[in-house]
Amino acid sequence: MTAGWTDCEGFHRRDFLKIGSAGLLGLTLPDLLRLEARAGAKKTRRATNVIMVWLAGGPATIDMWDLKPEAPEGIRGEFKEIATRAPGIRICEHLPHMAAVMPQCTLVRSLYHNISAHELGTLYMTTGNKPSPAVQYPSLGSLAAKLLPSERGVPSYVSFGVLRGGAAGGAGYLGAGYNPFEVEGQAGRGTLRVRGISLPTNFTQSELENRYRLMERFDQAFKALDQSDSLAAGLDRFQQEALDILRSDRTRKAFDIGQEPTAVRQRYGEDPFGASALAARRLIEAGVRFVTLSLGGWDTHSNNFTTLKQRLLPQLDRTLSALIEDLHQRGLLATTVVYCAGEFGRTPRVNRNAGRDHWGRALSVLLAGGGFKPGIVYGSTDKQGMTPQTDPCTPDDVSATIFHLLGVDPYHELMTSAGRPLPLFREGKVLEKIVG
């Protein structure tokens, strides 16, 4: 379901700067930040689920959400700004449908980090924690699966395609039980299914129930010999959730986007990305907590403007605006966070190949729904888009704010398999200015 894409590099292990452990009264800087944020943040719950729209490869947000028309030639790019329906907010001319739904959106223009490698940048953005060789942090979707109550008979976390490298998007130290249910097949062609939990050909629902009852009888027979977990209870969480899904038709119905009116399918776009977004909306309605879908091809080291204008921006404009508009009209946007991001931005300076290179020092992300303050811009970058100028924030902060709106304390601690307690987001703070 992921649009075809390639990146310019493979995974390279990097060393990361660490904040020193010596601090005032023995407290580290992250400790102080957490205590300060805790004191100011009130626990709330406005959202119940999340749809993450992942732009794989690193989108040139300077040409999308934060144009610099007054910058020198070679930085300002080829695109013009247009006004949106949100007063004072201007975005790229090739995003006219997004301009229409901007009153429902929150633009964060002052995000930054110091990672320019694809896989590590993806890990940072999708976990809300700086990658570490010592800890494999869980993705936001896995955290949602762990911490949010889910509907029985539907997966708690669904991913359309696998993010770069496989580790991103996964459960990390939470264990395999909180990995996403990965979708395969083609939406709109009746072939969508969740990998590993579709019934074999000619295998009926009643036969599944018979197999399950047989397993339970074996469990009873072996209980006297084995005081450990029974066979049925020994199914890990992922297998048990898969069994619940197989015994229910809610997920199958959610994937059947053919039930949607033709006009709705056309509004989203009858391609894999559009169909995935429509299926994501239906999955949220069915009770899924977190859905990730992706559109690749944003690694535009060459022909940046041609690629954006002719292919990427029209697709994103059509589908993302349709998703936000549809959720809003159905009354679902108030409880659903839409989060559109990539692993980093791209250089303000255009290179000799009419492209832009990797740049994590300043990028924009778009949020909508779920309790975010709509129709506003948070933060700004300098005149050339090099670095944040006001309200700088990090992936940790955005992630902490999302989970704050989900009613989860961003500083809640989970235990690793080694028995080490870790807060959800070690350095994140809630961005109170964008909470509605």
Q: How many domains does the chain have?
A: 2
The residue count of the chain comes to 436
Query: In this structure, are 241 and 344 located in the same domain?
Result: no
- Asked if 165 and 122 count as a contact pair (C-beta separation under 8 A), the reply is yes
In a domain, 10, yes or no: no
Query: In this structure, are 217 and 150 located in the same domain?
Result: no
In a domain, 390, yes or no: yes
The whole domain housing 260 covers 26-192+256-434
Query: In this structure, are 302 and 365 located in the same domain?
Result: yes
Query: In this structure, are 244 and 355 located in the same domain?
Result: no
268/318 Cα distance (integer angstroms)? 6
Query: In this structure, are 132 and 202 located in the same domain?
Result: no
Q: In angstroms, what CA-CA distances link 231 with 51, 170, 213, 228, 236?
A: 35, 26, 12, 9, 10
24 pLDDT exceeds 50?
A: no
In a domain, 159, yes or no: yes
282/323 Cα distance (integer angstroms)? 11
23 pLDDT exceeds 80?
A: no
Give the lowest-confidence range in 23-32, 49-58, 237-246, 358-367.
Answer: 23-32
Would the CA dihedral through 219, 222, 224, 228 be positive or negative? negative
- For 79, list phi and psi in degrees, rounded to 5: -95, 155
Query: In this structure, are 217 and 118 located in the same domain?
Result: no
Give me the pLDDT at residue 255, please: 87
Query: In this structure, are 241 and 273 located in the same domain?
Result: no
Q: Give the best-scoring range by mean pLDDT among 4-8, 119-123, 218-222.
A: 119-123
Question: Coil, strand or helix: which one is 239?
Answer: helix
Name the more confident of 368 and 11. Answer: 368
In a domain, 14, yes or no: no
Question: 205, 223, 248 — which closes off a domain?
Answer: 248
Continuous segment of H or E residues that includes residue 320: helix 313-329
Task: Give, to the nearest 10 degrees, the angle between helix 395-405 and helix 140-147.
Answer: 30
Query: In this structure, are 207 and 293 located in the same domain?
Result: no
Q: Are strands 380-381 and 376-378 parallel, antiparallel or unpaired?
A: unpaired
Query: In this structure, are 31 and 127 located in the same domain?
Result: yes
In a domain, 180, yes or no: yes
- For 220, list phi and psi in degrees, rounded to 5: -65, -40
Q: What is the DSSP letter of 377?
A: E
By the 10 Å C-beta count (0-12 exposed, 13-18 middle, 19+ buried), 200 is classed as: exposed
Q: What per-residue string of b and e applies to 209-218 under the rule 16 or more CB within 10 Å gives b?
A: eeeeeeeeee
Give me the pLDDT at residue 35, please: 53
pLDDT in tens, 201-241: 454 545 444 444 544 444 454 444 444 443 333 345 666 67
Distance of CA 246 to the CA centre of its chain: 26
For residue 178, give the CATH number of its domain: 3.40.720.10
Query: In this structure, are 226 and 298 located in the same domain?
Result: no
The per-residue pLDDT of the chain, averaged, comes to: 84
Q: Are strands 336-341 and 81-83 parallel, antiparallel or unpaired?
A: unpaired
Structure tokens, 362: 């300043």
Query: In this structure, are 50 and 127 located in the same domain?
Result: yes
251 pLDDT exceeds 70?
A: yes
Question: 248, 281, 312 — which closes off a domain?
Answer: 248
In a domain, 21, yes or no: no
Query: In this structure, are 327 and 401 located in the same domain?
Result: yes
In a domain, 369, yes or no: yes
In a domain, 16, yes or no: no
- Asked if 52 and 141 count as a contact pair (C-beta separation under 8 A), the reply is yes
Name the more confident of 184 and 179. Answer: 179
